[in-house]
Chains A and B, each alone.
Chain A
Amino acid sequence: MNYPFWDVPIIGSGWVIGIISIIHVLISQFAVGGGLYLVLAERKALRENRLDWLARLKDHSRFFLIMTNVFGATSGVGIWFAIGLAHPESTSTLIHNFVFGWAMEWVFFIVELSSAAVYYYSWNKISHEMHQRVGWLYAISSFCTLVIINGILTFMLTPGDAWIAVAGTGQEASQFWSAFFNPTYFPSLFLRILVCISLAGIWALVSYSRLDYDAQAKGELITWSSKWLIPSFVATPIAFLWYLASVPEVNRALLQLGISTIGSGAFTQVTRIALVMVMTSATIVGVVYFFVRKAPQDFAFGHGLAVLFLAAVVTASGEYAREMLRKPYVIARHMYSNGIRQSEVAQMSEKGYLEKSLWVRPVTDKTNEPELILSKGEAMYRGQCLNCHTTTGYRAMTKLLSGRDHQSIGNLLQTLHDYKDDSPYKKYMPQLVGKSDEIAALNDYLDYVVNKDKSRIAGLMRARESKSVAQAQ
């Protein structure tokens, strides 16, 4: 491994990415849908000569500018920092494979940021036609950022056969377009466009809920904004089914796993999270119908925040489910979630995992000192487990291995190392790689973490201590 390992206690590095991403997605998809919202609302106001609407839209565009250009942009940079630390290998692969894509993304991003600022600061300073053109420039450039990032995100779940055929050969960039327009590209793009449009409406509801000083405009704008949720309500189930149909059967199986069970060892979160998505989406429909459509002028700031919170739950659930569907890979069929490439597995099991780990202290195999065994085991744990597990917090080893003794942990590790087709863990866990002494050291380390004084290593330490006491006497 070429990079050091990032140990985030309690929540794990995955949740650092997750928390930043949820905030970012909520704002960045608003940035895409909100651009279209602003120009269409402005056009409607001009056509109907509603000057009061224009004043309110100017206020909304200030809110939009602050949310997207400040919070959206900084959380986006935050994601780069977080994925760079948590998943350096996969981040490196994405950068190398999509250099041209990232270049395009950042060009559109700069246009997007600039035009958003120009759009707000030029209200009433340039002609309406010119102002609308700036608005359209923003809407198109922000849409293009979605078009590009969608290709890279979907690539991670379904890289496509053509790219997989050249993966690891140094010729990956030759399959740029097939990797980009991968099997889930279009359903995912369609789904994200629907979400962007909905979020434009939801954020507008939040923004206008405080317009109590202009009750008429509030009622009209809230009613009009609520219509932005209709496409999503109508088309999302279809888009979701289309998306699922494009996902490989093996990933879809994860979704079905939780229908019948939450049995120990089964990976059923995807199903449960999908249920949360359905439930919260249905609630948004209910709230918008009962509160927004029926009594728009009574729609309070608290209602707006409640709808936004529900949207955040749906977004978080959706992103979480998408990440889970990818298990055991971070880039499907190419790189496991712990950064090990599928092509490296055989070699690492033969020559050793720690041999290639530049950031592990050299550990000699010629000694049986308990501390050195633990050190080697910990290095294995950090390299192969830490991406998805923590010691005592999220997906805690102490909880998952609770009740297992040294022998039982060893059996589990052997199952993960053998990685037979009928292994239940194969659906969501990477293959454990390493030579037998490395796996034995991991076994000792996990036994020590879980069983403390009752572990084999603690026994060795006590025996050594007794021996040294006896020698001293």
Chain B
Amino acid sequence: MMKALYRWVDERLSLSELAKFAAKKTVPVHRHSFWYFWGGISLFFFLVQCVTGVLLLVYYRPGPEAYESVRQITNEIHFGWLIRSAHSWSANLMVVAVFVHMFSVYFMKAYRAPREFGWWSGMLLLIITLLFGFSGYLLPMDELAYFATKVGLSIPEALPVIGQPMTNLFRGGLEVSELTVQRFFALHVVVMPAIFLPILVFHLWLVQKHGNATLPSEEAKPESERKSIPFFPNFLMQDLAMWLIALNVLALCASIYPWGIGEEADPLKPAPDGIHPEWYFMSAFQTLKLIGKLFSGELAAFGEGLGITLFTLGLLLWTLIPLYDGKHENGRRARNATYFGLLALGIIVVTTIWGYMSL
């Protein structure tokens, strides 16, 4: 019965060709193979967010009722708290996974030719992921979300010339309000998915086209000494096992530390102590704060602008690394790129910890 059904589908969709392709495709095996799973884990968390996001859409009401609708989801609707917690936790875990994926790709030098577009599309996906997080954070419209967004929007506002009009456009005025929630909601559920999905498809297509990159040390080995496993079923099984582990981690986080909701935002109240952006913006927040401290009085605005310019330049350099270290040679450029990566990682870790300690 099942065989007949498969044959019927296969005749129409050529599934066996797909299976043949998957069986032919191989994945390198070496002592750093573990890092290959992180792209898949990021994808898994994104899928969880799509599913839970759609469920939240059923009850969420943007605008003046935003807070009340999230309160109902958290405190009244059956398993609403679980769906919301899974959505928020998977967003955070996705950012973790994407960062790990990006650094593993960087240090394995998987951005080199012919994988430059893979790296660039990945960087775009990372930036949109962070924007997903930023826009989603405001939607509950509780006290913390309100003030954190206010602080977050003050960063692009410091950009020279375009800062003010651009921020006003996103905010829907001079202050964070219900209009901002409407706009962030539109960005979060329509605009950004519409940009994210085609880039994601392009990114995955490139991974299929070029296959997994091997380490430079593995590339130096003769063909006969390199090990690999078939993508289907071996690697896929391992990938699914990692998804299962990721699902467990998510379930544990969502069940044991469910996402609560604070008091409703009141713009007339003073900001509570220690307000800060989400952890993945903490490094940028702290760096800007440190640079800002170097300048005071009339030069404060210049300090903020300088900080953002430096940050943008750093990000640009990071993105353009395949153009600098694009050849498969372990020379001076390769070493410099590695040092640059270690420096970036060090700055992110140190400024993030510093940021939390100075709250």
Contact = CB atoms under 8 A, between A and B. Distances in A.
Given A262-B260, A276-B256, A283 B247 contact: yes
Contacts of A294: 237
B241 interface: yes
Nearest to A272: B255
Given A262-B81, A262-B260, A272-B258, A279 B251 contact: yes
A261 interface: yes
A177 interface: no
A276 B251 contact: yes
Contacts of B244: 283, 286-287
Contacts of A286: 244
Nearest to A286: B244
A472 to B, nearest CB: 38
Given A283-B248, A290-B237, A290-B240, A272 B256 contact: yes
Contacts of B251: 275-276, 279-280
B31 interface: no
Contacts of B80: 260
Given A279-B248, A294-B237, A273 B255 contact: yes
> DSSP class of A's interface residues: helix, strand, loop or mixed?
helix
A409 B350 CA distance: 41
A259 interface: yes
Contacts of B266: none
B255 A261 contact: no
A191 B248 CA distance: 23
Interface residues of B, number: 22
A286 B245 CA distance: 11
B78 interface: yes
B82 to A, nearest CB: 7
B255 A276 contact: yes
A279 B253 CA distance: 12
B133 to A, nearest CB: 22
B208 interface: no
B241 A275 contact: no
Contact of B248 (A272, A280, A290, A295): A280
Interface in A270-291: 272-273, 275-276, 279-280, 283, 286-287, 290-291
Chain A, interface size category, equals 20 to 34
B79 A276 contact: no
Nearest to A317: B255
A310 interface: yes
B241 A262 contact: no
Contact of A260 (B78, B237, B247, B252): B78
A263 interface: yes
A166 to B, nearest CB: 40
A275 B251 CA distance: 8
Interface in B59-89: 74-82
B74 A262 contact: yes
Contacts of A260: 75-80
Given A283-B244, A286-B244, A294-B237, A261 B252 contact: no
A432 B274 CA distance: 36
A261 B75 contact: yes
B248 A310 contact: yes
Interface in B210-266: 237, 240-241, 244-245, 247-248, 251-252, 255-256, 258, 260
A29 B76 CA distance: 39
Interface string B40-61: 0000000000000000000000
B194 to A, nearest CB: 33
A214 B76 CA distance: 57
B259 to A, nearest CB: 8
Tell me which of A261, A276, A283 has the highest count of chain B C-beta atoms within 10 A of its own C-beta.
A261
A379 B244 CA distance: 48
A287 B238 CA distance: 10
A16 to B, nearest CB: 19
A306 B241 CA distance: 11
Tell me which of B74, B81, B245 has the highest count of chain A C-beta atoms within 10 A of its own C-beta.
B81
Given A260-B78, A261-B81, A276 B252 contact: yes
Contacts of B78: 259-260
A313 B247 CA distance: 14
Contacts of B79: 259-260
B6 to A, nearest CB: 19
A250 to B, nearest CB: 21
A178 B240 CA distance: 50
B294 to A, nearest CB: 36
Contacts of A291: 237, 241
Given A272-B256, A275-B255, A283-B247, A263 B74 contact: yes
Interface string A236-264: 00000000000000000000000111111
Contacts of B245: 306
Contacts of B247: 279, 283
Contacts of A262: 74-75, 81, 258, 260
A3 B251 CA distance: 41
Given A275-B255, A287-B241, A294-B237, A261 B248 contact: no
Tell me which of B76, B240, B256 has the highest count of chain A C-beta atoms within 10 A of its own C-beta.
B256
A295 B74 CA distance: 43
B82 A275 contact: yes
Interface in A286-343: 286-287, 290-291, 294-295, 306, 310, 313
A48 B157 CA distance: 79
Nearest to A259: B78
A191 to B, nearest CB: 21
Contacts of B248: 279-280, 283, 310
Interface of A: 259-264, 272-273, 275-276, 279-280, 283, 286-287, 290-291, 294-295, 306, 310, 313
**5 interchain residue pairs of minimum CB distance:** A272-B255, A263-B75, A279-B251, A262-B81, A261-B75
Given A287-B241, A295-B237, A313-B252, 10 more contacts: A259-B78, A260-B75, A260-B76, A260-B77, A273-B256, A276-B252, A279-B248, A283-B244, A291-B241, A310-B248
Interface of B: 74-82, 237, 240-241, 244-245, 247-248, 251-252, 255-256, 258, 260
13 contacts: A260-B75, A260-B77, A260-B78, A261-B74, A262-B75, A262-B81, A263-B74, A272-B255, A275-B251, A279-B251, A287-B244, A291-B241, A313-B252
